[in-house]
Amino acid sequence: MRLLITGGSGFIGTNLVQSCLDKGWQVLNLDWNPPLKAAHRPWWKEWNIMDGEATRRHLADFKPTHLVHLAARTDTDVQDDMAAYRQNHEGTAILLQAIKQAAGIERVIITSTQFVCEAGYQPKDDLDFKPFTLYGETKRLCEMATRGAGLACTWTIIRPTTIWGPWSLRYRDVLFKVMRKGLYFHPGKGRVVRSYGYVGNVVWQIEQILQAAPAAVQGKVFYVGDPPMDLRLWVEAISRALVGRQVRYIPTWMVKTLALCGDALKLLHLPFPITSGRFRSMTSDYITPMDKTEFVLGKAPWTLEQGARAMVQWYDTESAAAIKPSLIDTRQLQAKEQE
């Protein structure tokens, strides 16, 4: 297999690159940021997803048989300017055209997100959308562009849930630091069901799709991650692995008050471990339909406890060397070109 990965310098991409290298697959990572893991540099080429000519050239030079498209801006920080997420939908459309023109590509995976539907909304089918952020809307457009591209190869869309594990800088820079300092308190003991996913299982699911019979995955949409779980189970597993003790709980109203303080500090550009957005995430159900994924691809191999231990080991041994990507949207490129 000759696998081209776009966005292989990101969180999921770093784990996928490493897994493929371990299997002896031929890999090329195209990304406008250097790899999070320095050892992956030999397999990385700097690339702008908005440059169609460069994309066609890389495809012609590497001659991939399989392609996984992960490159995207994945935060939800901007809600008033679609241009902040141009690389998601416009970049994907450029990539799809290059794939159509390339020879030898047998299989393509296009990455969307669970955010094409808001929390609490259960889609009736793969074309039932209800995005609630600009990020989710651009991913809806990605899915529609994929369906309309007329690809001759086998194609599949994946929708990652809330993914965690090694090389997640968000957890490294916020949750783990707070937990290690003994400052983490969970809001109440009410049951909150979330669709989380250990990154090792997501990588395994991607690899299963790449190797499955075409009829099993052609034109299908799969949520990738783990079955929905009580958020407390995840938090407790992380706490046991990281600090060796149970999580402390405080009344929900108290956490909400702290979140409002966090909102005020955020306006002043001062860091704080919790904001109203984070509070809602910790106290609201977000359930995605995972049954089809497990039925077609099988049961993913990593348990919650195994994933937690692997993430803590990475945190203690490798995470300090990972540098947060500096380039996140096309406007930064435009400003750089004008300098």
Cα–Cα distance between 176 and 239 in angstroms, integer? 9
Could you tell me the pTM of the whole model?
0.92
Cα–Cα distance between 188 and 186 in angstroms, integer? 6
* Positions of the chain with pLDDT lower than 70, given as ranges: 335-339
pLDDT at site 337: 62
* 2-166+196-227+289-302+325-338 CATH: 3.40.50.720
pLDDT at site 277: 73
Angstrom CA distances, 232 to 144, 173, 310, stand at 36, 21, 19
pLDDT at site 272: 76
As given in the structure block, the two tokens for residue 131 are: 């995005």
pLDDT at site 327: 86
As given in the structure block, the two tokens for residue 159 are: 């929708």
Written in H, E and C, the secondary structure of the chain is CEEEEECCCCHHHHHHHHHHHHCCCEEEEEECCCCCCHHHHHHEEECCCCCHHHHHHHHHHHCCCEEEECCCCCCCCCCCCHHHHHHHHHHHHHHHHHHHHCCCCCEEEEECCHHHECCCCCCCCCCCCECCCHHHHHHHHHHHHHHHCCCCCEEEEEEECEEECCCCHHHHHHHHHHHHCCCCEEECCCCCEECEEEHHHHHHHHHHHHHCCHHHHCCCEEEECCCCEEHHHHHHHHHHHHHCCCCEEECHHHHHHHHHHHHHHHHCCCCCCCCHHHHHHHHCCECCCCHHHHHHHCCCCCCHHHHHHHHHHHHHHCHHHCCCCCCCCHHHHHHHHHC
Which residue, 86, 107, 93, is CA-closest to 4? 107
Residue type, 163: I
Which residue, 90, 99, 20, is CA-closest to 58? 99
pLDDT at site 120: 86
Residue type, 112: S
pLDDT at site 338: 60
pLDDT at site 271: 74
Domain ranges of the chain: 2-166+196-227+289-302+325-338
Q: What is the dihedral of CA 314, 317, 320, 321, to 10 degrees?
A: -100
